[in-house]
Amino acid sequence: MSTPIIAMRGISKTYGTGDSAVTAIKEATFEIFSGETVALLGPSGSGKTTLITMIGCITEPSMGKLSLNGEVVYDEKWLIHDERKLRRENIGFIFQAHNLIPFLNVLENVTLVPQMNGVSTKDSNVKARELLEYLGVGDKETKMPSQLSGGQSQRVAIARSLANNPKIILADEPTAALDGERALSVMQLLRKLAHEQNVAIVVVTHDERMLPLFDRILRVEDGVVREEQY
C-alpha cells in the first residue's frame, strides 16, 4: 500500500491551561492519500479549522504525531526547522476569501510564491499561464483582482495554490462566498485537480450538497474526528 501523504496519530490541541483549558481536537488519528479529495465536515466551533491549520503546520499540536509526505514533522514537538519553507514548498492554501493581493495583477499573484522559492520569472510565468489556461481564466492574466468576479477570483486563487507544485492543498470553506452553481463548479474543479495532478485535497465545508464530490468524509464534532460514509 502507498505511503499516506498526511498521517495523524493521536493529535490533540488544547488552548489555555488549568480550569480554562479547552481541547479543540481530541486524539485525531487518520490517513489521507495522494489523489484523494477529503471533506472536513462539522458545525462551527467543532475544531475543523484547528485541524486543517495543524495539517498545514500553522498551528502547533499539543500532543501526537504528524507526518507529511512520509516525513515526521511533529512528534510531541516540531521536528522541522522552518515551517514556512515547508509550507511554501509542499502545501497550497485556498481560503473562503480569495486573499489575492490587490495591487498585483492575476499573473503576478500566481507567480509570487514560486519566485519566493527561487523559480525564475520566465519559468514561473510559463507555469502560471498553463494553470490559468487550465482553470479557464487564461484571458485574465493582466487584470487586477478588483476586475474579477467572485468565481474568477477563486479560480485564480486555486491557480496560485498550485503554482508551487504542492503535494497537499488545504481549502477552508472555498465555496462559501459563491452561489450554488459557481460553488459546484469550483468543487468539481478541485476533484478534477486531485485526480489529474495526484494531489491530496482537504476541504473544510458546511455544504452537505457537495458531499457526493468527495472521496471520503471526516466529520468533526466537539473535537472528535470520525470517518463517515456518504
- Domain with 174 in it: what CATH number? 3.40.50.300
Reading the block at residue 167, the C-alpha cell is 503535494
pLDDT at 169: 92
Reading the block at residue 105, the C-alpha cell is 495583477
Q: Which residue matches cell numbers 468565481?
A: 151
Tell whether 127 is covered by a domain.
yes
**Beta pairing partners, 225:** 220
> Which of the 8 DSSP states describes residue 3?
P
What range defines the domain where residue 93 resides?
Answer: 6-228
> Which of the 8 DSSP states describes residue 104?
S
Tell whether 39 is covered by a domain.
yes
Query: Per residue in 160-177, pLDDT tens?
Result: 988 888 889 999 887 776
Tell whether 1 is covered by a domain.
no
Tell whether 198 is covered by a domain.
yes
Tell whether 193 is covered by a domain.
yes
Tell whether 28 is covered by a domain.
yes
pLDDT at 18: 84
Q: How far apart are CA 119 and CA 115, in angstroms?
A: 5
> Which of the 8 DSSP states describes residue 78?
B
Tell whether 145 is covered by a domain.
yes
Tell whether 93 is covered by a domain.
yes
pLDDT at 1: 52
pLDDT at 188: 86
- Number of structural domains in the chain: 1
pLDDT at 63: 96
- Residue type, position 197, single letter: Q
Point out the residues of the chain with pLDDT beneath 70. Answer: 1, 177-178, 230
